[in-house]
Structure formats: structure tokens, C-alpha cells
Amino acid sequence: MSTNPWLRERATRTAFVRRSVSTFMPGERLEDAMAAAAAQQKQGIGTILTKLGENLTRVEEAEEVTRHYLDVLDKVQAAGLRAQISVKPTQLGLDLDKALCFANLQRLVDRAVERDNFVWIDMESSPYVDATLDLYRSTRTRSPRVGLAVQAYLYRTAQDVESLIPLGAAIRVVKGAYLEAPSIAYPKKADVDENFYTLCCRLLADDARKGGGLLHIATHDPRLVDRLASFIDQHRIPTSAYEYAMLYGIQRSLQQRLVQAGRPLRVLVAYGEYWFPWYMRRLAERPANVWFVIKNIFA
């Protein structure tokens, strides 16, 4: 459903859907996201800003997105916010021209260096994984101010992580949000969860940390959050080596619990008009969300 244009056209005009999406994003404008970042900062929570959108068709659009993020990095510094940015390679033109995408990413990382900030690269669906790893590697050789998301549901990720560790990589481990075939991704949730734990432990190991690595534990799964907290305490891993990362509006009580326990936390705040596919993936992650929407549509 996230890729269905007919549904997107209709659903985004429905008042209830527009209202219910506000659970997951404070507003469509950058100003809304920055206000949410300021509120989070008061609670001791860092932010990751992301403008929704993917799979562009014109080079001009990639330029527009790049300029937008350059401006975000300027505005974040001017506002004194502790907010990084996270970008999708397809938003920077990966489908159109890989060299252009790399150049756009490099412009963002250069600006992040100037503004004492950091750029995260999202991982999209499986056909983009190799190109995204290439992008990361070539950007990382020029600056450490860039990190990469990897998906625990893919069988290949353990090997990819091994190849990234010697680079001193900042890695965000996520479970993975796209529909992938069992030939390349664990079909059982329990296996994805276990792989998530194993990958995070690997990235918290001495050799991974000594190379300057940073781990983002990006999950709302309380079991994994607590299991990894025990691992961290047991191995006396410093708070400079990791951060928990969650999405705006999801598991707020768990977010508060982490902050109260002195754990570093960042919350990703999404904004922009192109929220439909992203919203559908958030619904798909939790059947209760779908029932909530259906009930309200029929109410």
C-alpha cells in the first residue's frame, strides 16, 4: 500500500488520516520539526531531522533536496539545536545518477563539518544496499561526520558490518522497514530480533569502538532496549560509544525511561508533504495502528 499512487492520492486528502499522521510527525514544515527538536532538547533528548520523500525522477528535485538540507544544517546551528540530519540516497538522486548523488551527499557532509554536525544515510530497500554502502565508503574516506543505517532483517548485514568496522564507522542498526523476500531477509521476527542484538553487540565490541565507531540502537522494542542496556552495563561501555534512537511519537514512555536512566537518546523527527509511504510503513509495523485507523474511518 505504501507504493500505491491511487491510495496515496485519496488517503492524503482524508481528514482523519491527516489527523492521525500527526501522531508520528509534529507537522509538515521544517519549523514544526525544529520546534519539536527544541522541546526534545529541553528534556535531554537529541534529534535527527528528516524530510520525507524518496525516488525522485528529476535531477532538479535532487538539487532542491540537497539545498534544503544545507539550509537545515545552517538553521540548526543558528538555533543552537542538538539536531543531526538523515537523508535517503534516492532523495539525493541515486536513481538518476550515482555520481551526482555522491556529490550531493558530499556537499551535505562538508557543510556538516563546517557546522559541527553530522549526516546519517538511511538504508532503503534491498536493490539499493550495494550502492548505498559504496556511497558511505567513499564519503567516509573524506570525513568521519557521516553514518549509515544497516538492516538486521537482511542475511548479508553481518558481513557488511564486518567490512565497515575497520573504517571506524558510525552505524545505525534498524530491523528494516521494507517488504523483502525470504531468500534475502529473515522471514521470522524472532530471527530479526536476535540478529539485531548480535549486530549491536558486535558493534559495541572493543575493536569496533577503538576504531572510533559509534552505534545507534534504533528500535522501540523494549526487550531489545533492555537486553542491550544490560550488555552495555556488563561491559562498562561508555555513553560516548552509543545512543538509542527512536521515532517521534512512538514508545514515549520508553523514551522517558531511557532519559531518566541517563542513557543517550535521539528521536527522529520527520516532516514534509510526502509522508504517505512513510506513514504506511509505520502502520504496517504495528497491526494495532491499522485497526485504529480502520475503526476511525468507519466511526
Ligand X SMILES: Cc1cc2nc3c(=O)[nH]c(=O)nc-3n(C[C@H](O)[C@H](O)[C@H](O)COP(=O)(O)OP(=O)(O)OC[C@H]3O[C@@H](n4cnc5c(N)ncnc54)[C@H](O)[C@@H]3O)c2cc1C
Indicate the residue among 58 and 188 with the shorter CB distance to ligand X. Answer: 188
Q: Binding to ligand X by residue 175, rule CB under 6 A? A: yes
Q: Binding to ligand X by residue 263, rule CB under 6 A? A: no
Q: Which residues are catalytic?
A: 122, 172
Q: Binding to ligand X by residue 218, rule CB under 6 A? A: yes
Binding residue for ligand X (CB under 6 A) from 149, 154, 173, 258? 149
> Per-residue string for binding with ligand X, 222-261, x by CB under 6 A?
-----------------------xxx--xx----------
Q: Binding to ligand X by residue 8, rule CB under 6 A? A: no
Q: Binding to ligand X by residue 123, rule CB under 6 A? A: yes
Binding residue for ligand X (CB under 6 A) from 53, 89, 147, 176? 176
DSSP codes, the chain? -TT-HHHHHHHTT-HHHHHHHTTT-S-SSHHHHHHHHHHHHHTT-EEEEEE-------HHHHHHHHHHHHHHHHHHHHTT--EEEEE-GGGGTTTT-HHHHHHHHHHHHHHHHHTT--EEE---SGGGHHHHHHHHHHHHTT-SSEEEEEETTBTTHHHHHHHHGGGT-EEEEE---S---TTTB--SHHHHHHHHHHHHHHHHSHHHHHTT-EEEEE---HHHHHHHHHHHHHTT--GGGEEEEEETTSSHHHHHHHHHTT--EEEEEEESS--HHHHHHHHHT-HHHHHHHHHHHH-
Residue 65 CB contacts under 8 Å (≥ 6 apart), including other chains: 51, 53, 56, 87, 91, 92, 104
Q: Binding to ligand X by residue 290, rule CB under 6 A? A: no
Binding residue for ligand X (CB under 6 A) from 28, 54, 95, 122? 122
Q: Binding to ligand X by residue 268, rule CB under 6 A? A: yes
Q: Binding to ligand X by residue 158, rule CB under 6 A? A: no
Indicate the residue among 60 and 159 with the shorter CB distance to ligand X. Answer: 159
Q: Binding to ligand X by residue 95, rule CB under 6 A? A: no
Binding residue for ligand X (CB under 6 A) from 55, 77, 256, 289? 289
Indicate the residue among 232 and 245 with the shorter CB distance to ligand X. Answer: 245
Indicate the residue among 20 and 143 with the shorter CB distance to ligand X. Answer: 20
Catalog residues that contact ligand X under the rule CB under 6 A.
Answer: 122-123, 149, 151, 172, 174-178, 218-221, 245-247, 250-251, 268, 282, 285-286, 289
